[in-house]
Structure 1
Amino acid sequence: MFRFLPETASDYQEVEYLYDSCFAPGRQALSSYRLRAGPPVADLSRLVRDEYDAVVGAIRYWPVRAGGQGALLLGPVAVHSTRQGEGLGGLLIRDTLERARDAGWSRVILVGDAPYYSRFGFQRSLATALEYPPPTNPDRLLALELHPGAMAALAGMVEPWGDHPMTPE
């Protein structure tokens, strides 16, 4: 039995512990963390609790600017090692992508494995004109159009959201 819930402020430490257990030490030193200025998008930060009320999965999205346009940065997404292979990560991704589309967001980018994320529609070809803060392997920069054509003619640096009002684009 799993419960899919919005992440709340009281979940923060437990979600951070999950991320620490799933990713290498020093994960905050990765280039993606420099883009995660301010809080994640609250409506898209979700978690999964198991029958023991433990957090066994979590996902967050961050607002960024890609080529000067608003976009979502997916990540991190994590599933506890004892629950991997049960489809929880895929359920979190599909659910939150639908929520993002419904909220008016038009594009999502991430740094990740193309074979895994392609099943959700992410493509390297949609992100080839984007530049990502180093050190990042450009082959791992992927994008998804939540609305057809949202990545067309989009080029340039991916940057923190900054002081712009946070509204979907």
Structure 2
Amino acid sequence: MTVPAAKAPTFEREQPLDGPAVEALLDHAFGPGRFTKVSERVREVAEFRPDLSFCAWDGQRLVGSVRMTRIRIGTDAAIFLGPLAVEADVRKFGTGGALVLAACDAAQEAGFASVLLVGDEPYFGRFGFSAALAKRVRLPGPVDQRRVLVRGLREGGADDLSGLVVAP
């Protein structure tokens, strides 16, 4: 039984000891089917960046997570956002959006020019992500190209992105 959150969660960068709790949250949110998605193929070869990844906490309970991995799109360095998971009882606080923005801010501060993800444009579009910017980006497997989204982190950061997503 999940205890309802009484207040908005707190946010912290992911720490090594958070790994098992994050994996449990992702299993709960996505089930075993998450391992068959093209996003997982990207994460298998990408470099995990815990310094750009965040956890949302309600006291000692992990209620949200966003992970970031370093990739290349063709020859351009970029960051891949995901997975993003949030427990239902804290979504009302805007937890998912806050995690996305914290991760994008951290990537920008680290000097990255763009962030790529696979997701729903109606949700992620409000954070600056666009399928139009990703029209020439190719993932290493089948994906609905309308769900491939990019956000520039600086002026021109997502312009002219083209090519296959590969390891950094």
Q: What are the Cα deviations for residues 46-93 of structure 1, in whole angstroms up to 9, with x where unaligned?
A: 101103x10000010111110221100000111012222320011111
1:57 is aligned to 2:64 = yes
Aligned-residue Cα RMSD (Å) equals 1.3
1:120 is aligned to 2:127 = yes
Q: What are the Cα deviations for residues 92-147 of structure 1, in whole angstroms up to 9, with x where unaligned?
A: 11122111111111100110000000000001110001111222111100101101
Is the 2:54–2:102 Cα contact (8 Å) retained in structure 1?
Answer: no
SS at match of 1:28: helix
SS at match of 1:26: helix
Separation (CA, whole Å) in 2 of partners of 1:122 and 1:79: 19
Separation (CA, whole Å) in 2 of partners of 1:127 and 1:23: 25
Q: Which residue number corresponds to residue 109 of structure 2?
A: 102
How many Å apart are 1:39 and its aligned residue?
A: 4.6
**Superposed counterparts of 1:21-36, under 5 Å:** 21-36=28-43
Which of 152, 158, 163 is matched with 2:165 structurally? 158
Structure 1 portions without partners, runs of 5+: 162-169
Separation (CA, whole Å) in 1 of partners of 2:115 and 2:101: 12
1:129 is aligned to 2:136 = yes
Separation (CA, whole Å) in 2 of partners of 1:10 and 1:95: 20
* Structure 2 CA distance for partners of 1:25 and 1:61, relative to 1, 3 Å: same
Which of 40, 43, 46 is matched with 2:48 structurally? 40
Separation (CA, whole Å) in 2 of partners of 1:135 and 1:64: 18
Higher mean C-alpha displacement, 95-104 vs 119-128? 95-104
Q: Which amino acid aligns with 1:70?
A: A
Q: Which residue number corresponds to residue 96 of structure 2?
A: 89
* Structure 2 CA distance for partners of 1:117 and 1:101, relative to 1, 3 Å: same
How many Å apart are 1:29 and its aligned residue?
A: 1.8
Separation (CA, whole Å) in 2 of partners of 1:3 and 1:135: 36
Separation (CA, whole Å) in 2 of partners of 1:68 and 1:39: 16
Percentage of matched positions with identical amino acids? 36
Structure 2 portions without partners, runs of 5+: 1-6
Separation (CA, whole Å) in 2 of partners of 1:102 and 1:24: 33
Return the TM-score normalized by structure 2.
0.90
